[in-house]
Structure 1
Amino acid sequence: MIRIAIIDDAVEIGTQLETILIEITTNKGIAIDIDIYYSGKELCEHLQNGEFYDLIFLDIEMPEFTGIDVSKMIRDNLKNDATQIAYISGNKEYAIEIFEYDPLYFVHKPINKEKIEKVFERLIHRLHLQADAFTYKTGHNIVKIPIKDIIYFESEDHQIIIHYYTQNEYHKDSFYGLLDHVQKQLKSFQFLRIHKTYLVHHLYVRKYAYDKVYLSTGIELPIAQSKRKEIRAEQFAINRKESV
């Protein structure tokens, strides 16, 4: 699901944009979730409380807290480079000012379906380029780890510990979340849920035993009794794909 925020102090613009987005994504068979805000300050409060969006349609000319102010908070204060921002304005001169905030697109008012389709096509392209990275939020930072570098995930006290390699060095980090959600997010990659506590990347499994896996890092992790039959079947399916 793609999470989208619309920020415009004009109610009719927000409603029009929402209608266009629903029409576009319905035709493409893409699931979206849309939130509408009528002030930049309101959006910033939600972002500071941990809300995350894949795409933000951001009106530049708003009273008190402008679109530029919101951009500074997202990119500079929250260190969030993952969220894509499509700017909306009737003034083309802003196209230069927003350049430093890595805009996805500049939508010149009035908006229409054709313009928004171009935004969405570019968004899908960028998301596909980022698809081989796992993104998570820790503190006020958005972190992206290449899938190929992730060894395994571990669940501990409402936190997820991610174990990974970067430049041949072992690292680990943590973030709040559920391992079930991580597993769903990575369902198209070769991650095996060997235990309620562990989600392991097949790439780093050196050997499968009856009740445990041996990782190439030297770590041994248990396979839950209830998972053993399922893991053997998944292992067999992966090995068949790799041998083709």
Structure 2
Amino acid sequence: MENIRIAICDDEILLLPHLSAMIRRYFTTQNLECETVPFSSSTELSEHIQKNNFFDLYFLDIDIPELNGIALAEKIKQKDSNALIIYVSAKEDMVFQTFKTQPLAFVRKNCFSDDMLEAMNTIIKYLKKPQETIVTLEDSLGHPVRIHVNRTIYIEAKDNYQYIVSAKKQEMVRCSITELEKALTPYRYIRVHRSYLVNYKYIRRINPDHILLDDGRTVPMSRLRKKEIRQLFMEYDLS
């Protein structure tokens, strides 16, 4: 597992080095490498995130001047939906308000040692479980685009946008289908048409002029690429 980047945001400046040291020690016992970066201001961390400087884990106090921890977590999630949030706070009465940001844990400052140990165990279990493959690239504005490789059924190009379609949702992004094809071909995505990139695992059947998907939807198939598409499909079936 690669080095894990961790942001710690708390206006109690004396707590920051203590929390950083505790996290690093625990990760070391699990044979994991981590980098901790302290922030004594929520605004400072927010500005860091707005520049697309992301972390894997965020330890956030709730009662912080300027921008409270929950509002900060919402901003982080808007930019990086895969961010892992852990609250470290004396505001126990706000625990239910944190649920909308889907935190991994809530550490009470008045039960710091016990809660922190439990939180670290939860974090390690999460990090060590098999994770879904996610491909990340930048859109035309430099914003990160994260594609869940296994969940995505197909991608459709329409006007200046690409529509990433899964069983439960459709996401619109602004980047070229050629870039997406280059990034996703190693994961068995097939360019079946100039406007369509399809995940092989969701193809039920190749018909003369279209592809039938497992959920019953169809996408058009390029006549010029028909032979190449069939060949790729057979290769993937046999491997």
1:142–1:183 distance in 2 versus 1, CA, 3 Å: closer
Shift of 1:107: 1.8
1:43–1:192 distance in 2 versus 1, CA, 3 Å: same
Contact 1:104 1:123 in 2 (8 A): yes
Structure 2 residue ranges without an equivalent (≥5): 213-217
> In the alignment, what sits opposite 1:48?
50
Structure-2 separation of matches of 1:231 and 1:26: 45
Contact 1:60 1:68 in 2 (8 A): yes
Structure-1 separation of matches of 2:161 and 2:31: 31
Give the fraction of aligned pairs with identical amino acids, expressed as a percent: 25
1:64–1:83 distance in 2 versus 1, CA, 3 Å: same
Give the superposed CA RMSD: 5.2
* Letter matched to residue 116 of structure 1: M
Residues 206-240 of structure 1 deviation map (CA, whole Å, 9 limit, x = unaligned) = 468xxxxx7423333759x9xx9998765422xxx
Shift of 1:41: 0.5
1:174–1:22 distance in 2 versus 1, CA, 3 Å: same
Contact 2:154 2:166 in 1 (8 A): no
| 1:21 and 2:17 aligned | no
Structure-1 separation of matches of 2:18 and 2:29: 17
> In the alignment, what sits opposite 1:240?
none
* Letter matched to residue 118 of structure 2: K
Contact 2:153 2:166 in 1 (8 A): yes
Secondary structure of the structure 2 residue equivalent to 1:100: helix
Shift of 1:37: 1.8
> In the alignment, what sits opposite 1:205?
203
Shift of 1:106: 2.4
Q: 2:62 aligns with which of 45, 57, 60?
A: 60
> In the alignment, what sits opposite 1:242?
none
> In the alignment, what sits opposite 1:86?
86
* Letter matched to residue 204 of structure 1: Y
Contact 2:190 2:200 in 1 (8 A): no
Shift of 1:42: 0.7
Residues 79-137 of structure 1 deviation map (CA, whole Å, 9 limit, x = unaligned) = 87653322223x3xx1121421224322233755x643421333456678995596989
With normalisation by structure 2, the TM-score equals: 0.58
Structure-1 separation of matches of 2:189 and 2:35: 28
Structure-2 separation of matches of 1:175 and 1:181: 16
Structure-1 separation of matches of 2:20 and 2:181: 30
Structure-1 separation of matches of 2:182 and 2:72: 29
Secondary structure of the structure 1 residue equivalent to 2:219: coil
Shift of 1:174: 1.4
Q: How many residues align?
A: 215
